[in-house]
Each structure stands twice: as structure tokens, then as C-alpha cells.
Amino acid sequence: MNAKDADILVVEDEETHAELIRRAFASHNGGPRLTVARDLRGARARLAESPPDLVIADWRLPDGEGTELAPGEKDDASYPVVLMTSYGNEKVAVDAMKAGVLDYVVKSEATFADMPRVAEQALREWELIVARRRAEEALRASEDRLRQVGENAREWIWEIDARGIYVYAGPVVEQILGYPPDELVGTKHFYDLFDPEDRRELKRQAARIFAAKQPFREFVHRSVRKDGKTVWLSTSGVPVLDSEGEILGYRGVDTDITENKRMEQKLRALSLHDDLTGLYNRRGFFTVAEQQLKMANRNRLRMLLLFADVDNMKWINDTLGHSCGDSALIDVAYALRRTFRDSDIIGRIGGDEFAVLATEADPASVQLLRDRLREHLAPHFTGEYGPGSLSVSIGAAPYDPGNPCSLNELLERADRSMYENKPKLCTV
């Protein structure tokens, strides 16, 4: 959803601030449908009438805090909340996120003027969150239907001897793995069916369980079908012992959980990747980059963080349309992938903002990387995006493990570098 088409509720008790926000939206192609409430009571009355598409609320209000309007993680909320605060510190940010706020901004005239972009970004991120929640609900519904059908429809019963060779395989194995039972019994070890990449480790784990004569439940692993396709199985079993307690083998059941695994992978991709470009989204970039910083500190590796901003996206969106703007972002993402290595971490962390954490990169290589990016952008930006084509501003900040800092601080340094060098770096 575009911010200009949205129904937005602003909860702000200071008339001057509310007016600045109203003017910012009004200058943005006519602006959205904007309603202003002065306190929590007025806001709740407005929410009771019909939920808006977005709530922008001040933190301190006459009758409480704006965080009280934020939905909890488990609430079935239909709108996101962006919190405004005059106190920009980490504690406020943490408390806001714990309360269920989608984003928060520090009040200033520049922030009020930039509110249409903040709203646009919040609405797009909220669409992804809603899509993820729906996918999770679909997964739960699917699991409920499968339970109703009955466990036996997806399980095959097996038994192996002390050597691990099948002595019995139920008929359902042919549906799951493509093998008729007689092709397994007396000929194949249970570990012959494991995915070759996992086989050594899984055999080691199984040997430990067998030696302890322990039952096991939901041993999740990959197996290979007769036709070569990979399936995910959840295996449970109990030891078969003789009268003296010596192990004769194991018997148990295998359940095909391939569809569940595929759904999990889709959910993970949805929560960590940008739907438009396929790059990491802000959450995904921070998740992976934080791990890379820890590795760099352990191994004393230098890195380079680059912050890239697409300069005239507003003009493209307003003049040529958002579909053209989306195409431009996809082209930038493609150029970034070609410019950097597979080991580098690339993310779209805002509407027109990208970040790259280049691993084991020399700080002196910034100009080389800019030249390479210019080369990869050139085929796409031949005037199709308007006068002067498309330009990308870049800032860079080196990471020194001898003087470590947080990822947020590194991003701030790269952002400052971009603006300090804007006249020099404005066009890639």
C-alpha cells in the first residue's frame, strides 16, 4: 500500500508538531486521509470506529504513553504503530519494540518533513509481516488437517536387526521413499537411505543411541528417495531386547515431514528477505551481519560496511510510477550482487537504502568497489528512469576488530560518510 492512499491516525498533543506532520503529508501528492487525536482517549475512540492503515503516535501523551496503542505480538492487530519520541536512546527503542511498535523516530523538523517516507516504509514492512502471519496460520491449519486424516496415512513402520539391516518395512515406505518393501528387507541398512551429506554424522548419532539402548523420538533427518529426490523424515523408535537385555535391533515409525519443512523454509525466507529484490531485508541483514561481526572479532578480520542510497527515487515514483520505481530497485540489487562476492552480505534496509558488509575487505578498496558498481549499473541506467538517469550515493565505514563497535554505530558512520561526501559521490 502507498502512503498517499492510506488512512493514517496521528496521535499528537502538540498542535505545532501535528501541523508539521499534516503539512508534510499534504505536500506529498495530496497526502493520505489523515486524522489527528490529542490523547489516548481520542485515539481509542477513533480506533473503535474503524482501524486505520497506520498509527503514528507520540510517546508522551496527556493520559498515558503511545506504546499503549501498540498491539502485542499475539494480538490480531490490523495496523502497525510508529512511535515518535523526543528522547532518542537505546532504552526507548528497546521498550518500544517490546511493546509491539513497528518502528520509532526521534522528533525534529527534518523527521516531520520525512514522515511520508517513514509511513511508506512502515506500510510496506507491515505487508510482509501480515503475509508471514498468514503463512504461519496456513501452516497451522495444514498441520491440523493432517492430524485429522490420521498419523498412519503418513507413517511407515519398520524394524531393523542389531546390524541395522531392515527385517521389516511396511507398505507405506513405497509412497514415501519409492522403494517396495522387498527392496529394503534383508539388503539395506537404515543409514543407506540417509542423504550422503548427512550420513556420517547421522550414523555417529545413531551409534550412540544404539550403544545406550535408548528409545528416541522425532529424529529429524534428510533421506533420499529411489528417484533421487530428497525428503525430510521424522523417525521415532524403541530398542528390541532379548531376555538378557542384549539388543536385537530397533523398531519404529518414519513420518514424512517434507511439506512442513518446505513451509518452514518459505517462512524463514519471508521473514529475512526482501520480497521485491530477494536481498536480505533489514531484519535479515542485521541477523547475518551481527554474526559476521562476532566472527571478525574472534578472527581479527577487517571488514568494510557500505551504505548506498538511491538518489532520485521520489521523482521516479511520483513521475513514472511505483512500478518503475520497483524496477529501479531491482536493477540496483542486481548490480550490487554482481559487484560484491557471494561471501559479502547485501541487504535492502529501507525503501531506497541498501547496505553491504564486505568481509575481509581493505578500506582502501572503496573507490575500486564504486567503479565496479558503476560498471554494473551502466547497462540499466541509460535514461529509462528520466533526466540524468539514476544515481546512487555511497558512504563507507571500515570495521576494525581492534576497536570494535556495534552494527548500528557502523551504519551511522557509513551514513555520515555518504552525506559528508555527497558532492563527490552523488553519482555512481
pTM above 0.85, yes or no: no
Any bridge partners for residue 310, and if so which? 392
Mean pLDDT throughout 159-187?
93
Segment among 44-58, 205-219, 265-279 with least mean pLDDT: 265-279
Mean pLDDT throughout 388-392?
66
- Cell of residue 26, nine digits: 499534504
**Are the C-beta atoms of residues 221 and 129 closer than 8 Å to each other?**
no
Cβ atoms within 10 Å of 207's Cβ, excluding its own: 12
Grade residue 9 by pLDDT with cuts at 50, 70 and 90. Answer: very high
CA atoms 409, 413, 416, 418: torsion sign: negative
pLDDT at 380 over 70: no
**Are the C-beta atoms of residues 214 and 200 closer than 8 Å to each other?**
no
Going by their DSSP bridges, the two strands 81-85 and 54-58 should be labelled as: parallel
pLDDT at 250 over 90: yes
Q: What angle do CA 183, 188, 189 make, to 5 degrees?
A: 150
**Are the C-beta atoms of residues 410 and 305 closer than 8 Å to each other?**
yes
Characterise 186 by phi-psi region: left (phi > 0), alpha (psi -120 to 50), beta (else). Answer: left
Domains with residue ranges and CATH for the chain: 3-145 (3.40.50.2300), 150-262 (3.30.450.20), 273-425 (3.30.70.270)
**Are the C-beta atoms of residues 36 and 123 closer than 8 Å to each other?**
no
Identify the helix (H) or strand (E) that includes residue 34.
Answer: strand 33-37
d(CA 91, CA 94): 5
CA atoms 203, 204, 205, 210: torsion sign: positive
Segment among 92-96, 138-142, 268-272 with least mean pLDDT: 268-272
pLDDT at 146 over 50: no
- pLDDT attached to residue 356: 95
Residue-by-residue DSSP string for 349-360: -SSSEEEEEEET
CA atoms 139, 143, 148, 149: torsion sign: positive
- pLDDT attached to residue 66: 87
Any bridge partners for residue 357, and if so which? 305, 345
Cβ atoms within 10 Å of 83's Cβ, excluding its own: 26
d(CA 116, CA 109): 13
